[in-house]
Structure 1
Amino acid sequence: MQKIKKVCVYCASSEKIDTKYFEATKVVAKALVKNNTTVVYGGGARGLMGQLADTILEEKGRVIGIMPHFMKEVEFHHKDVNEFIFTADMHERKKQFMVGVDALITLPGGCGTFEELMEAITLKRLGIFTKPIVILNLDGYYDPLLNMLNKAIEEGFMGERHREIWTEFTDPAKVLEAIQSSAPWSNDAIKFAQA
């Protein structure tokens, strides 16, 4: 079994969401700390981002926040994380999320989380990013997005092999198993990037 040393977690900054999402985030965070995995995330102090960082810190794990300077100016950033990286803009932030990670984990989120996930899927399709991308589909939250991706494959906009770009899981306690069960991916994927 491959050691999962560092992951990036995409998740929400909203505080107006159901408590089940906060509870699931705690479970994911604890599983990662128990595995001695460093977590990179968007750096926020609120919503699922804040829950993720707080739980990791409470459990004595390591968490790295990455955020553009302009967000720091409005006090969005978590001040207690182990390390903080401030970037020039959102594009640089997304690039930094992927540096040296063994996997990307997507928890429920809004348009920012969707955008980060879709860019990662696109980069993996092109073979630029090759690590596992796992999506926590808690209570069917991501059903519409996964249905759209599957429709794109069925309609020929993506190829059948592209279903292996991501792995869906529904139990937050099984985040590490989801990563380990992901299909291997090659940087030669550009050869079959077209449907």
Structure 2
Amino acid sequence: MRVCVYCASSSKVDAKYFEATKVLAKELVAKNVTIVYGGGSHGLMGCIADTALEHGGKVIGVLPRFMEKVEWGHKNLTQLILVKDMHERKKLLIQDVDAVVALPGGCGTLEELMEVITLKRLGKFTKPIVILNTDNFYYHLKEMLQKMIDERFMRDEHNAIWQFVDNPEEVIPAILNAPHWDSDAINFAAV
């Protein structure tokens, strides 16, 4: 199994986010999951890579060349794929993965998450999307997505696009038990 993990590059975030990331990395390695992530060496990105590698896991990073030039790339990954730009990075991050997991993060994490949600709504991505809501970090996003449905910008069926979980131990069960999603979702993408 291959899982794309979206996460932050900031090293200044609270320790609780690092702890949850370490637990998730160990959970994924224990299930022989290859982690595909943004290739960074700092913050939660560095944490998930380092922890998985320390426990014998496989970690593939996808990094734009301009970030490698400023030495943001992790040097010890199973594989580091250098790409032209952020668009190519996002495309490769979700190519051939079995699920996407979003950890707490900044605007980059949120942008990646919203793009993959949009792709799933349109039937262009059909795999589970699990949002790790550590210490209620994503409370407002959860409320906003529900408001979009309540206000009829999206359909009730679109609630099945994502799953929110509170603890890293819930991520793999959420992936395995996610509702089926089909490429014909485009037929009900419009409201």
Q: Indicate whether the TM-score tops 0.5.
A: yes
Find the residue that maps to 2:88 and give its secondary structure. helix
Partner of 2:20: 24
Partner of 2:89: 93
How high is the TM-score relative to the length of structure 2?
A: 0.99
Which amino acid in 2 is paired with 1:167? Q
User: Counterparts of 1:7 and 1:104 in 2: how far apart (Å)?
Assistant: 6
- Residue 9 in 1 paired to residue 11 in 2? no
Partner of 1:168: 164
- Residue 110 in 1 paired to residue 106 in 2? yes
CA-CA distance at 1:180 after TM superposition: 1.1
Corresponding residue pairs, total: 191
Partner of 1:150: 146
User: Counterparts of 2:27 and 2:111 in 1: how far apart (Å)?
Assistant: 25
Partner of 2:129: 133
CA-CA distance at 1:175 after TM superposition: 1.2
User: Counterparts of 2:16 and 2:174 in 1: how far apart (Å)?
Assistant: 20
Partner of 2:61: 65
- Structure 2 segments unaligned to the other structure (5+ residues): none
Which amino acid in 2 is paired with 1:81? L
CA-CA distance at 1:23 after TM superposition: 0.3
Match of 1:122 among 114, 118, 123: 118
Find the residue that maps to 1:120 and give its secondary structure. helix
- Residue 44 in 1 paired to residue 52 in 2? no
User: Counterparts of 1:182 and 1:151 in 2: how far apart (Å)?
Assistant: 22
Match of 1:191 among 184, 187, 190: 187
CA-CA distance at 1:34 after TM superposition: 0.3
State the 4+ residue runs in structure 1 displaced beyond 2 angstroms: none
User: Counterparts of 1:6 and 1:130 in 2: how far apart (Å)?
Assistant: 14
CA-CA distance at 1:183 after TM superposition: 0.7
| RMSD of aligned Cα (Å) | 0.5
User: Counterparts of 1:18 and 1:57 in 2: how far apart (Å)?
Assistant: 22
Find the residue that maps to 1:65 and give its secondary structure. strand
User: Counterparts of 2:151 and 2:18 in 1: how far apart (Å)?
Assistant: 36
Find the residue that maps to 1:67 and give its secondary structure. strand
Of 169-178 and 157-166, deviating more is: 169-178
CA-CA distance at 1:84 after TM superposition: 0.6
How high is the TM-score relative to the length of structure 1?
A: 0.97
Which amino acid in 1 is paired with 2:120? K
User: Counterparts of 2:171 and 2:133 in 1: how far apart (Å)?
Assistant: 11
